[in-house]
Amino acid sequence: MLLDSNLDSVEVAEAAVLRDAVDIGFEEEQLHQLGMAVRESMVNAVVHGNRYNSRKKVHLSVTKAPDRLTVVIADEGEGFDMNALPNPLAEENLLRQSGRGLLLIQAFVDEFQVCRAQPSGTEVRMVKYLAKAS
Amino acid sequence: MDATGRITLGEGASAFRDAIRDLATKGDKKILVNLSDVSYIDSSGIGEMVSSYTTVTNHGGQLKLLGLSKRVKDLLQITKLYTVFEVFDDEAAAIRSFT
């Protein structure tokens, strides 16, 4: 799915992913977590990656498996070095206004990878597994 | 102050920031934000809460939080902001806590 670089696309992406997540049986709390991870990733792509540039798109792909959902979100921005980002949990950064999006994504999915998209940009890959019945 | 709805990137987060800033610039020193009716907060909303905390503190005031849902409490745990914000479940206890 190709999405425009605006905040409406955040809603569109979240709704699309959650439809698939419901299909394979995710429950409410997991849906909330997955939805938040997708929202944060989409905001990063639109705001920090593509910088609202109307000529650039956000690429969304969702792959369903019986026990998991894989979501890939890629922008066409300049990319960034994850290691260069300030640690939002460091004492000196707790009062910073921004910089918590990736932390929340990592907290709410089971697998998380960031890599360079080709030919340019950033690609975020997230996997969320169905919770096993206890 | 009672907050309602969603505190997310866009109108929700900016409305929250403006409301707190208004209180702080009017000279209110003891601000208790009731989040009982807040259904959703994202990282931008958290950022505005932190920014508001700083604004109030810089004006010599205190900003505390009341009535957090489990999800909002989880967000504060994940972001370590429990070490920054004073959080209450009971309004009377929150009011008594202001110095």
Express each pLDDT in A106-118 by its tens digit.
Answer: 999 999 999 988 8
Long-range contacts of A31-35 (CB under 8 A, 24+ apart): A32/B71, A33/A108, A33/A109, A33/A128, A34/A69, A34/A71, A34/A108, A34/A109, A34/A128
Kindly report the average pLDDT of chain B as a whole number.
92
Q: What are phi and psi of A2, to 5 degrees?
A: -105, 130
Options 3.40.50.740, 3.30.420.140, 3.30.750.24, 3.40.630.30; CATH for B2-92 is 3.30.750.24
| CA atoms of A12 and A46, how far apart (whole Å) | 13
* Bridge pairing between strands A57-65 and A2-4: antiparallel
The partner residue sitting opposite B42, judged by closest CB among A39, A95, A103, is: A39
A103 close to B (CB below 8 A): yes
Boundaries of domain holding A110:
2-129
Over residues B2-15, mean pLDDT:
85
Structure confidence at residue A132 (pLDDT): 59
In-domain check, residue A134: no
Instruction: Count structural domains, chain A.
Output: 1
**A87-133 per-position pLDDT tens digit:** 999 999 999 999 999 999 999 999 999 998 888 899 999 999 997 54
As for the ipTM of the complex, it is: 0.88
Q: Model-level pTM?
A: 0.90
Residues 59-78 of B with CB under 8 A from A: 71, 75, 78
Over residues A40-54, mean pLDDT:
96
In-domain check, residue A109: yes
Q: Please state which of the ranges A12-16, A71-75, B23-27 shows the lowest mean pLDDT.
A: B23-27
Structure confidence at residue A13 (pLDDT): 97
**B44-76 per-position pLDDT tens digit:** 999 999 999 999 999 899 999 999 999 999 999
A47 close to B (CB below 8 A): yes
Q: Find, among A85, A131, A86, the residue nearest to A108 by Cα.
A: A131
CB atoms under 10 Å from CB of A33, counted, come to 20
In-domain check, residue A49: yes
HSE at residue A72, side-chain half, CA atoms within 13 A, is: 13
Over residues A72-82, mean pLDDT:
91
In-domain check, residue A118: yes
Residue B11 has pLDDT above 80, yes or no: no
Kindly report the average pLDDT of chain A as a whole number.
93
How is residue A106 annotated by DSSP? Answer: H
| CA atoms of A56 and A17, how far apart (whole Å) | 21
| Interface contact flag, A104 B43, Cβ < 8 Å | yes
| CATH at residue A94 | 3.30.565.10
For chain B, which residues make up each domain, given as ranges? 2-92
Structure confidence at residue A134 (pLDDT): 39
